[in-house]
Structure 1
Amino acid sequence: MNKPDPIPARLAALKTTPTPDLKQQWRDLFDSEPPPFNRRYLESRLAYRIQELAYGGLKPETIRRLERLGEELDGGDRKKRGIRADRDRPITGTRLLREWQGVEQIVTVTADGFEWQGRPYKSLSAIARAITGTRWNGWTFFGLKNHRGRT
């Protein structure tokens, strides 16, 4: 008689596991400190890792193929590989306007980031934080699609 596969139940339990316990699972499964990302990220990476350890990871041929595809895209430049092309980014010169507490805020898209009040910024989130004093997703703050393509 076959035993039921415990992995689906373990994956389902991630949704209701307290965050400190998710972080401990991360330490156990990855042998490193968990990254400072949101809970959803931890859940998805833990789910992948649990399945990878139980069922096996990518086949070596798949890894080689992905590496070849990456080299075709970036010419073998590993530095470029870490930079994600952001097709949803507004074109250089675009002005983003947002009214915050009665004051109009204007951000200009530059070739390598953004400019607000004459200062360069790498991200819209940094500008939103400077304007509001709290953490914001910059794409959401300025009413744009966020970088994952959702609205």
Structure 2
Amino acid sequence: MTHDPIPARLAALKTTSTPDLKSQWRDLFDTEAPPFNRRYLESRLAYRIQELVYGGLKPETVRRLERLGEELDGGDKRKRGIRADRDRPITGTRLLREWQGVEQIVTVTRDGFEWQGRPYKSLSAIARAITGTRWNGWVFFGLKNHRGRA
């Protein structure tokens, strides 16, 4: 019985230094590592290591995924490069914020937001209308912390 070194190699990624992860990235992808967080680097390296040893997706699987993508974006290749706004609350969600003793309620709509019966494209515009000063709307309504993380 032969020993498969891949599980041990994958487990070692968790304790590998970030500079060494970036070095492995250069070796495995033949490009510089992207400026993403460590967890992203670990997961993509783990996938790439397995892909190179065990093989990648079958061509028919790739074609099926491409067809599904075309169904979702109508074949518009520009849309494929646009990141979906995954952090946006689901349509119908109500956001509550108390400001100077008054409860403010915003409803998420399909095209933006609604506050006091009026449509708005951004939460920042609503926060400015409520406070009279510039605010990051996501921070004002507690959807992101001050460092910008969701």
Common fold: TM-score over 0.5: yes
| 8 Å Cα contact 1:88/1:145 also seen in 2 | no
Query: Structure 2 vs 1, CA of residues 145 and 24 (structure 1 numbering), >3 Å: closer, same or farther?
Result: same
In the alignment, what sits opposite 1:90? 89
**Mean Cα deviation higher: 63-72 or 106-115:** 106-115
Partner SS for 1:20: helix
Query: Structure 2 vs 1, CA of residues 94 and 58 (structure 1 numbering), >3 Å: closer, same or farther?
Result: closer
Determine the C-alpha separation between the residues in 1 that align with 2:144 and 2:45. Answer: 27
**Mean Cα deviation higher: 27-36 or 73-82:** 73-82
**Mean Cα deviation higher: 25-34 or 109-118:** 109-118
Shift of 1:121: 14
Query: Structure 2 vs 1, CA of residues 81 and 108 (structure 1 numbering), >3 Å: closer, same or farther?
Result: same
CA displacement 1:65-114 (0-9 Å, x = unmatched): 00000111111111111224336514899997889999999999999999
**Mean Cα deviation higher: 136-145 or 117-126:** 117-126
Query: Structure 2 vs 1, CA of residues 7 and 69 (structure 1 numbering), >3 Å: closer, same or farther?
Result: same
Query: Structure 2 vs 1, CA of residues 105 and 8 (structure 1 numbering), >3 Å: closer, same or farther?
Result: farther
Larger Rg: 2
**Mean Cα deviation higher: 132-141 or 82-91:** 132-141
Determine the C-alpha separation between the residues in 2 that align with 1:134 and 1:107. Answer: 18
Q: Indicate the RMSD between aligned Cα atoms, in angstroms.
A: 6.4
Shift of 1:24: 0.1
Aligned length, in residue pairs: 147
CA displacement 1:1-27 (0-9 Å, x = unmatched): xxxx00000000000001100000000
Identity of aligned residues (%): 93
Normalised by the length of structure 1, the TM-score is 0.61
Query: Structure 2 vs 1, CA of residues 23 and 65 (structure 1 numbering), >3 Å: closer, same or farther?
Result: same
| 8 Å Cα contact 1:139/1:147 also seen in 2 | no
**Mean Cα deviation higher: 115-124 or 74-83:** 115-124
